[in-house]
């Protein structure tokens, strides 16, 4: 009798605008697929029709910080219910460009709503659900600003002042310090090939520590030793 698939793994990518995280996600997905895993790539805000609609408003429309936070969690709720949880339950790996850490960093710290407000919304919306592993692309806010200037289009977050991004960056550093097992700091100032190698090596190491199902012969990960 075949057993139901084990839960997949949820991996997120975080960092200030200009840190360059997004370009690494597709190659990482290919790397994991080459190991025989089924991988879903998605992003926030977005990932469903409703959440993509909310993304449009968040990135283009002036609104209060509270409204921003509520829309971010509204989009996340739909995304988690319709895409992320079903994919994990099917045994797929989910790679998501940004998740709740972004709301702590951008609305909690950047917009100064405070950690407590975001934690309350996160608890109410997600009830403890979150990533198994997060890669934080850490980059000096001044360097990120010059990278953003070199890019053509910009949304209302990318046009924020450097002080905003300094607060965002400090929040990521605090989150990483609080959860070192989950959040891995990636030096986003390194060459892209070097970053790709670090990410693949870390994921390979992690996969190797997930114990395969006895006798399954397939990479159907069931448990972790750490
Ligand atoms: P991102 O996908 O990184 O932008 P782009 O496609 O332009 O590279 O993220 C969109 C923006 O949304 C980014 O500036 C951060 C912001 N954001 C929040 O402010 N709060 C959130 O909860 C999330 C998920 C994103």
Distance 156 CA to ligand 1 centre (A): 10
Q: Which long-range contacts (CB under 8 A, 24 or more apart) does 151-159 make?
A: 151/18, 155/59, 155/60, 156/59, 156/60, 156/61, 156/62, 157/17, 157/59, 157/106, 158/17, 158/18
22 lines ligand 1 (CB under 6 A): yes
**Residue that is written with structure tokens 């972004």 in the block:** 102
Q: From ligand 1's centre to the CA of 98, what distance in Å?
A: 7
User: Structure pTM?
Assistant: 0.93
What pLDDT does residue 211 have? 58
Among protein residues, the one with the nearest Cα to ligand 1's atom 19 is: 106
Q: Cβ(203) to ligand 1 under 6 A?
A: no
List, for residues 15-53, the tens digit of each pLDDT value. 999 999 999 999 999 999 999 999 999 999 999 999 999
Rounded distance from Cα 3 to ligand 1 centre (Å): 38
- pLDDT tens digits, one per residue of 151-193: 767 899 988 989 999 999 999 999 999 999 999 999 999 999 9
CA of 103 to the centre of ligand 1 (A): 9
Lowest mean pLDDT among 63-72, 160-169, 214-223: 214-223
The ligand 1 atom nearest the CA atom of 106: 19
Side-chain half-sphere exposure of 72, counting CA atoms within 13 A: 23
Look up tokens 């360097």; give the residue: 143
Cβ(79) – ligand 1 distance below 6 Å: no
The answer on pLDDT for 123 being more than 90 is yes
Q: Are 218 and 91 in contact (CB under 8 A)?
A: no
Cβ neighbours of residue 90 under 8 Å, at least 6 residues apart?
A: 5, 8, 38
């Amino acid at each position: 009798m075949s057993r139901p698939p084990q839960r997949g793994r949820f991996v997120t990518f975080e960092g200030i605008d200009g840190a360059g995280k997004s370009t690494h996600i597709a190659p990482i997905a290919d790397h994991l697929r080459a190991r025989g895993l089924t991988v879903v790539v998605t992003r926030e805000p977005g990932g469903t029709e409703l959440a993509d609609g909310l993304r449009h408003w968040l990135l283009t429309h002036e609104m209060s910080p509270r409204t921003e936070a509520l829309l971010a969690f509204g989009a996340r709720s739909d995304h988690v219910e319709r895409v992320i949880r079903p994919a994990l339950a099917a045994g797929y790996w989910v790679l998501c460009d940004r998740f709740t850490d972004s709301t702590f960093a951008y609305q909690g710290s950047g917009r100064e709503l405070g950690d407590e407000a975001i934690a309350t919304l996160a608890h109410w919306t997600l009830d403890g659900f979150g990533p198994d592993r997060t890669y934080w692309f850490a980059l000096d806010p001044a360097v990120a600003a010059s990278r953003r200037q070199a890019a053509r289009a910009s949304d209302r977050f990318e046009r924020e002042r450097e002080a905003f991004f300094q607060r965002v960056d400090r929040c990521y550093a605090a989150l990483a310090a609080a959860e070192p097992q989950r959040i891995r700091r990636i030096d986003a100032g390194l060459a892209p090939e070097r970053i790709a190698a670090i990410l693949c090596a870390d994921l390979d190491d992690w996969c190797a520590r997930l114990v395969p199902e006895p006798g399954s012969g397939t990479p159907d990960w069931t448990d972790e030793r750490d």
